Structure 1
C-alpha cells in the first residue's frame, strides 16, 4: 500500500500491477512500465519451477534488462531446489531460445544486476557456486560473473562435468577477454570435441556459429570444423538435418568441399531443402556436375522445379550444353531472372520475345509471366493490350496488369482509381503504388475516405497516398493512424508522428531544416484535438514534444 500511495502521488493517472515474479510495478497512462521494489523472490506459480522458467525465458526473449534479472533469479530458485534434472531442463530452455545465452552474458557485463538487484543476485550466484560439485545452473551463471577468477573456476567445473546444457556457456568463454579464462575454455572445448564429437557437436555448434563474427571467435569455429571433418556420416547428417539455416549451411558447405554427397543428394536438397541458400548451392553443384557428365535428365528435372533459384541455375546449365529450345520454353515463367535467361535463348533461336508476349497476353487466360514479360520488353504503345486485363476476374491478373502499366509508364488515373477499392489487397497495393506519383490527378478527398474505411488494406492505401503532401497533411494522417485498431498501422502512425515531432524539436546538432507546419486556425485546433486523443498511444515524451511544437506554431488566416 505504501508503494501504491507513492506511485499515485508521483505518477498520477496510472495503475498498480504485480508481475508474475512478485515485483510491484506501475503502469503509466502511455503504457510504459516503471518498476517498483521487489517484495519477494520470484513466485514459481502454476507449472512448478520449470513452468516459471518457461515464462521467464519467454519474457526475456522480448523484454529488456528487467526480464533478464527475473530470469536469473528464477534460475537461482531452481538451483536452490537441488534437483539436477530440473536444473538441466531449465538450462535447456535457456539455451534453446535463440540468442538468449549471449544476451545474458552481455547483460552480466554491461548491466550486471545493478541497483536493488546487484547485491542479492551476485551474492546468491557466488554463494551457490562452490566448484566442481556445484549444480549446472550455478556453474553456468558463475561462468558469466565479472570476476575472472570465478569464471576460470566455472570453466574448470564445466570441463570436469560436461553437461550438454552448459556447453554453450563454455563456448562463450573461448572468446573471453581474459587470457587465462580463454585458454582454459579453449583447451577444454578441444578435448571434449576430440573425445566425443557426436555428443558435443549438436550442443556446441549453434553457439559457435554465433561467435563466428567475434574477434576471438575463430578458435571455436576452427575446432568445430575439425571435429566435423573427423566425425562419422551419422553425426554430420544429423547436424545437417537439424538446427537453423546457419547451421545447415555450415554443414552443407563442408560436405560439398569434402565430396561427401552424391549427385542424387544434391538434386534432393535442391528440390526439398527448406533453406534457400542450401537449395541454391545444391542446384549449382548438381547442375555443374550434370553439365560435365551430360546428364540432361537432371537438368530438365531441375528446370521444372517450383523454386526459381533452382530453375534459373538448371536453365543456365541447359544453355551451356546447347539446348536453347528447352530454355526458350520458359519465356512465360513467373521469375524475372528465369525470363531473362529464356529471352536470351530465344534471341539466339531467332524468336521475337515481344511478339510472343503480344500473343500470350491476348489469350483468354494470360499467364502472369507473360504480362510481366511484356512490361519488361515492351513500351507505352503496348498498354492497350494490358488495360482490358484490369477487369479480369482473377485478382492476380489484375494486379500484374496494374504493375505492368506502371512499368510501361502508361498509367491512366481514371482506370486505376476504382481499383483502390478492389476486393483483392494485392490489387489495392499495386494501384496505390501506381497512383502515388500522380497524386495531383487523384480526387483530393479520396485518400481521406480510404483512411477512414473499414478495410485495413484501404486504410493503408489512403495513408500511403497522403504521405508527401506537406507536413500538415502528414501529421494529421499520422495522428489518425496512431488511433487505428490495427496494431501494425497504429505502430506506423506512431513512428511517423515521433519522427516529425523530433525533427521539429530544436537541437544544436541537427543540420537538416525543421519541418514547417503551415495550418489554418481550424486545422490547428483539429491537430491539437488529435494529439490529445493520441496521448496514450504516443507516450509521455513524444506527446510533450508534439504539444510543444503545436504550441509554437502560429496558425494562418
Structure 2
C-alpha cells in the first residue's frame, strides 16, 4: 500500500509541474515504466486532467485543432512536466504529437524509450527515429539514466529495437561510453551489458578488469571481470587488486590466481578469510602447493593468538573425532568472535552438545548467541 501511495504521489507532483528529478528516482529504470503506467491510468479514470493547450497551436484550445493539423508543428515549448504528462497520455495521438517536442530534451529521453516500445505503431516509429538521433549525441550522464530503461524494456514485446540501437552504439562508438556506463551507472544490468561489450571489444587489460571486479557491487560483474582479469595474466598487477577487494568472490578469484602464478604459500592467510568461498579457494591452493590446511588450522587454533575464523575453517575441513575437543575448548576463549567461530565449527562437524549451547545463550557476545541458537535448531520442537 505504501509503495502504491508513493506512485500516486509521484503523479500528483508531476501534475503540479515539478520536474522529473523531483518526481521519481531517475536512476531506477522501473520508475519510468511505473510513471508511464500511473499517469495513463490516472488520466483515464479522471483523477488527473492535464492541460495540453500547448499542443493545439493556432487552432485554439481543445483537441479538435490537434487532429486537424500536422502533429509536429511546434509552436510552444512545454515545461518538463507538461511534456512528460503528454508522453504518458492514454491517447496515442497525444503521445505521437508530444514526441515532436522531445527532440533536444534529454530529461525526457527515458520516456521516449518507453514510447519506442509503444503498442501504437506510429508512436513507436517516431520514438525510434528520435532515439537514433538522440542517443549518439547524449551525454554520459544522460546515457547512464537512459540505457537502463532501454535494457529493462527490451523484455517487452516491442522493446528490442531500442536495445539494438544501444548495442550498436556501444559496440561501434567511442569506448568512453562503455567506460561511463561501467563505472558511472547505478543499474547492475546495464553494467553487465557494458562489461560484455568491453570484453568483446578488448577495452581493458588485466589490471583494468581487476579494478572493475574489485569495486563493482553486482555479483555477475564481479564474477565475469575477475575471471577475465585472471585469464589475462599479469598476476603481479591483478592479484593484489583482487585480494584487496571487499567482496569475497573477488578475493576468491585472487586466491585462485595465486596457484597459476606458483605462489601457493601466499594463500595461507586467506584460510582465515571472512568469506567461506575465499577460505575454500585458499584450502585448494594450499593443497596444490603440497600443504595441509587441516594441520594449519589446528596449529592456528592451538596458538596464543587465534585468528577469528580459524575454528570455523577447522570445522569446514576437520574431523569430529580429532577436532571437536579443541573447538569445545575455544567456546571459552576470551575473544567473542573466536567463541562464535568455534560454535559454528562444532555445528559443521555435527559435534554440538545441547547443554553447552544452552549455556552459551547467555554469552555477552551477540554473535555467539546467534551461532548457539543456530546450532540448537535441530533440537527445537
Which category describes the TM-score, using the shorter chain as reference length? 0.7 to 0.9
1:289 aligns to 2:232 (yes or no) = yes
CA 1:73/1:346 → structure 2, altered by over 3 Å: closer, same or farther? closer
Residue 389 (structure 1) shift: 1.4
Does residue 146 of the first structure (1) align with residue 86 of the second (2)? no
Say which structure, 1 or 2, has more relative contact order (CA 8 Å, 6+ apart).
2
Give 1:375 deviation, angstroms.
0.8
What is the alpha-carbon distance in structure 1 between the residues aligned to residue 290 and residue 302 of structure 2? Answer: 22
Give the TM-score normalised by structure 2: 0.82
**Partner SS for 1:229:** helix
CA change 1:312–1:191 in 2 (3 A) is same
* 1:119 counterpart (35, 43, 46): 46
Alignment partner for residue 371 of structure 1, among 289, 292, 311?
A: 311
- Equivalent residue for 2:250? 310
Structure 2 CA distance for partners of 1:365 and 1:125, relative to 1, 3 Å:
farther
C-alpha separation in 1, matches of 2:16 and 2:280: 62
Shift of 1:331: 3.4
Counterpart of 2:185 in 1: which secondary structure?
coil
Q: Secondary structure at the match of 2:100?
A: helix
Contact kept, 8 Å, 2:43 with 2:90, in 1: the verdict is no
Residue 199 to residue 267, structure 1, CA distance change in 2 (3 Å): closer
Q: Does 1:183 align with 2:125?
A: yes
Instruction: Tell me which residue corresponds to 1:522.
Output: none
- Cα distance in 2 for partners of 1:231, 1:404 equals 53
Query: Do the aligned partners of residues 344 and 236 (structure 1) sit closer, same or farther apart at CA in structure 2, a change above 3 Å counting?
Result: closer
Q: Deviations over 1:340-376 (max 9, x none)?
A: 3333344344433323322221112222342122112
Kindly indicate whether the alpha-carbon contact (under 8 Å) linking 1:91 and 1:165 is maintained by their aligned counterparts in 2. Answer: yes
Distance 1:94-1:314 versus aligned 2 partners, 3 A rule? same
Q: CA deviation at 1:171?
A: 0.6
Number of residue pairs matched?
A: 358
Q: Is the 8 A contact 1:372 1:404 kept in 2?
A: yes
Q: Which among 68, 71, 79 is matched to residue 10 of structure 2?
A: 71
1:419 is aligned to 360
1:436-515 equivalences under 5 Å are 436-439=377-380, 469=381
Matched, 1:228 2:170: yes
> TM-score of the superposition, structure 1-length normalised?
0.58
Q: Contact between 2:213 and 2:242, CA under 8 Å: does it hold in 1? A: no
Residue 105 of structure 1 aligns with which residue? 36
Provide structure 1 residue ranges, at least 5 long, that are not aligned to the other structure: 1-31, 33-61, 79-86, 440-468, 470-557
Which has the greater radius of gyration?
1
2:299 is aligned to: 359
Question: Residue 160 of structure 2 corresponds to which residue in structure 1?
Answer: 218
CA-to-aligned-CA distance 1:424-477 (integer Å, 9 cap, x gap): 2222111111112113xxxxxxxxxxxxxxxxxxxxxxxxxxxxx5xxxxxxxx
Distance 1:218 1:271 in 2: 32
Query: Does the aligned pair in 2 maintain the 1:197–1:227 contact within 8 Å?
Result: no
User: Is the 8 Å Cα contact of residues 76 and 125 (structure 1) preserved in structure 2?
Assistant: no
* Contact 2:150 2:162 survives alignment (8 Å): yes
| CA distance in structure 2 between the partners assigned to 1:73 and 1:296 by the alignment | 56
By how many angstroms is 1:200 displaced?
A: 4.9
Instruction: Report how far residue 177 of structure 1 moved.
Output: 1.4
Partner in structure 1 of residue 195 of structure 2: 252
